[in-house]
Amino acid sequence: MSNTSRTIAVVGTGVIGASWAAYYLSRGFTVVAADPAGGAEDRLRTWVEQFWPALETLGLEEGASRENLRFTASIADAVRDAEFVQENGPERLEIKRSMLAEIESTLAPTALVATSSSGLLISDVQEGMKHPERMVLGHPFNPPHLIPLVEVLGGRQTSAESVDRALAFYAEIGKKPIRINKEVPGHVANRLQVALWREAFHLVQTGVASVTDIDTAISYGPGLRWALLGPFLNLHASGGDGGITHVLEHIGPAQREWARTLGEYPETDDYIAVMAEGVEEELAGHDWDETLRQRDEVLLQLLAAKKAKQQLP
């Protein structure tokens, strides 16, 4: 059955909201979007046009159409008929709270509200809500219309049922949701990225390798495998018949020693110019726009290839 009779509200239509709106449209939903900024509607419709060919390549749900997008400047109006609200306003606690108050003014009694917030604690965001039990984190990776991951987490006042419903909803619409059990700054995926960047900055600053060579090390090395199985299953694969237990017994002690020598995140901003210079060198002779276009093209191929192989987790 088509999703057209089901409505998703997208509140805040900047970089993340516009991408979410396009994705929900591609899944066949009716999307009502709200953003008070001047020119927001034109900007949103232009972005949806731009994103649509990629979404067509990934495959549209029955009934999916850009025509199913309605725009309003009023959050209360946008939310009225929605079963699910994706909030993507500015990353400031007081703004999120005032947006949530407007959302709750017309929110249907069973509707869920998910915030895309990258860094705020969900327990803080839901403070003062009338129905905090229906508020969850639904943190996407940019751009949400292409990257499947969504991090789901409840705050202190969120019900376990709402977290389960949000996980089921995102899975139903083709996303790869993960459950986060505890609130920590940066959620999970960004913490993992920061752990890697911390060491990458350290290796450059201490002259171990150049920015270019570190990019190559990841994008032509472990990054290729991580896109397919993730760090734990790759460890398991490295252990042969003995799997992860064998590999950790075998190389764990050495890794523990290496870990003791890892760098700290730079405490001052001197490192920024060093990294920027390295990026400039790496990009010399390359057309950056073309590089990004090719990245997105290959990403679509990779996503399609992964989708075709149902065994990959």
In whole angstroms, the minimum distance from the beta carbon of 219 to ligand NAD comes to 20
Cα dihedral sign, 283-284-289-294:
negative
Q: Closer to ligand NAD by CB, 37 or 262: give it.
A: 37
Q: How far is the CB of 19 from ligand NAD (least distance, A)?
A: 8
Nearest residue (CB) to ligand NAD, 37 versus 218: 37
Query: Would the CA dihedral through 270, 271, 274, 275 be positive or negative?
Result: negative
What residue type is assigned to position 215 of the chain? D
Q: Considering beta carbons, is residue 129 or 203 the nearer one to ligand NAD?
A: 129
Is 86 a binder of ligand NAD (CB under 6 A)? no
Residue with tokens 């400047």: 73
The helix (H) or strand (E) run that includes residue 243 is helix 243-259
Give least dist CB 40 to ligand NAD, A: 6
Min dist. Cβ of residue 54 to ligand NAD (A): 17
CB of 106 to ligand NAD, least distance (A): 14
In this chain, which residue has its C-beta nearest to ligand NAD?
14
Three-state secondary structure call for residue 94? helix
Is residue 7 within 8 Å of residue 81, measured between CB atoms? yes
Neighbour-count burial of 163, counting CB atoms closer than 10 A to its CB (0-12 exposed, 13-18 middle, 19+ buried): buried
Nearer to ligand NAD, 61 or 102 (CB): 102
With respect to ligand NAD, which residue has the nearer C-beta, 187 or 236?
A: 187
* Cβ 88 vs Cβ 98: under 8 Å: no
Binds ligand NAD (CB under 6 A): choice among 118, 205, 210, 212: 118
Give the SS3 label for residue 86.
strand
| Inter-residue contact 243 to 236 (CB < 8 Å) | yes
CA distance 26 to 62: 9
In the set 16, 107, 113, 146, which binds ligand NAD (CB under 6 A)?
16
28: contact with ligand NAD by CB under 6 A: no
The one among 34, 103, 107, 111 contacting ligand NAD by CB under 6 A:
34
In sequence order, the β-bridge partners of residue 114 are: 86, 136
Binds ligand NAD by CB under 6 A, chosen from 68, 84, 89, 125: 89
Q: What is the 3-state secondary structure of 223-239?
A: HHHHCCCHHHHHHHHHC
150 counts as binding ligand NAD under rule CB under 6 A = no
> According to the binding rule CB under 6 A, does residue 177 interact with ligand NAD?
no
| Residues in contact with ligand NAD by the rule CB under 6 A | 11-17, 34-37, 40, 75, 88-91, 95, 99, 116-118, 139-140, 142
